[in-house]
Amino acid sequence: FLSRTVNASASLICPLHLDTQQQMIGLKEKRLEKCNQDILDYVEEFRDFSKMVLSRLAGLNNYKAEVKSEVENLLTRIERAQRDIDYFGSVTDSNTCIEVHEDLVKQQLFEEAEEKKKLKLMLNASCDHMLAGIKSLKIVKKTGDKHGSWMKDPGKKHTKIYLLNGSVNNVILEFANIMTFMESNHTLKARRVTLPFPWEGTGHVIYQGFLFYHRYGSLNEIIKFNIQKRNTADQMLLPGAGRIPAYQLSPSTKIDLAIDEQGLWAIHAEPDTGGNIVITKINHITMAVERTWDTSCNSKDAEAAFMACNTLYVVYNFPSGGTSRIQCVYDVLDAVNTYEIPVLHFPKRQGSHSTIHYNPKEKQLFAWGDGSQIIYKLHTKQKTPLL
Choose between 54 and 88: higher pLDDT: 54
Q: Answer whether 262's CB lies under 8 Å from 248's CB.
A: no
Distance CA 202, CA 366 (A): 12
Q: Is the pLDDT of residue 262 over 90?
A: yes
User: Of the given ranges (23-27, 46-50, 81-85, 327-331), which has the lowest mean pLDDT?
Assistant: 81-85
Distance CA 282, CA 167 (A): 23
Distance CA 113, CA 54 (A): 73
Q: Answer whether 245's CB lies under 8 Å from 253's CB.
A: yes
Q: Is the pLDDT of residue 222 over 50?
A: yes
Compute the average pLDDT of residues 297-309. Answer: 96
Choose between 40 and 177: higher pLDDT: 177
Chain-centre distance for alpha carbon 344 = 30
Residue 187 C-beta-side C-alpha neighbours within 13 Å = 7
Could you report the per-residue pLDDT of 141-153, keeping only the tens digit for each? 999 899 999 999 9
Could you report the per-residue pLDDT of 318-362, keeping only the tens digit for each? 998 889 999 999 999 887 777 778 899 998 778 899 999 999 999
Model confidence pTM above 0.95: no
pLDDT band at 8 (very low <50, low <70, confident <90, very high): very low
Q: What is the chain's Cα-based Rg?
A: 43
Residue 34 C-beta-side C-alpha neighbours within 13 Å = 6
Q: What percentage of the chain has pLDDT greater than the value 70?
A: 80
For the chain, give the mean pLDDT: 84
